[in-house]
Amino acid sequence: MSNEVAKELSFKERIVIICGRYEGIDERIMKLVDMEVSIGDYVLTGGELPAMVITDVVSRFIPGVVEEESVRNDSFYNDSFDYPHYTRPRTIEGMQVPEVLVSGNHEEINLWRRKEALKKTMLKRPDLFMKHQLDEVDKQAILMLFKELMKDAQ
């Protein structure tokens, strides 16, 4: 399962998910199957949990289920991870919310979020980063990241 497949399935009028048990389903049923989807390279005891995962992933792309802005900011939507999120209080056991996030400067906050999202993507999924189409904000964010790395190296 991928975001692209989920988007494609979200446009279907109907979806029937056949859930096999440990050894799968009767092979004769496969003649009726339009698409076979896997949620990972592992084996579960049944297809119920993957069916729930597929239902949840696909439903996020159906208008009105989740706010469109939220979906656009999700990890994998634009070939990158989402930026880090913080809640209250501002300090938890000595760990602070980054100062930029409480600065009130929305332009700086957006640039910081983009920088952190790109950094996370580069570190955890360089394959996604290599597919990502960089826009001007991304380029500014990468420059900011590079400057931070150079400062830390000195």
Domain boundaries, the chain: 3-73, 91-153
The dihedral sign for the CA sequence 33, 37, 38, 44: negative
pLDDT of residue 43: 86
The model carries a pTM of 0.71
CATH topology of domain 91-153: Trp Operon Repressor; Chain A (1.10.1270)
Please report which confidence band the pLDDT of residue 112 belongs to, taking 50, 70 and 90 as the band edges: very high
Alpha helices by DSSP H, 11-67: 48-59
pLDDT of residue 121: 94
| Same fold? 3-73, 91-153 | no
| Domain 3-73: top CATH class | alpha beta
Residues composing the chain: 154
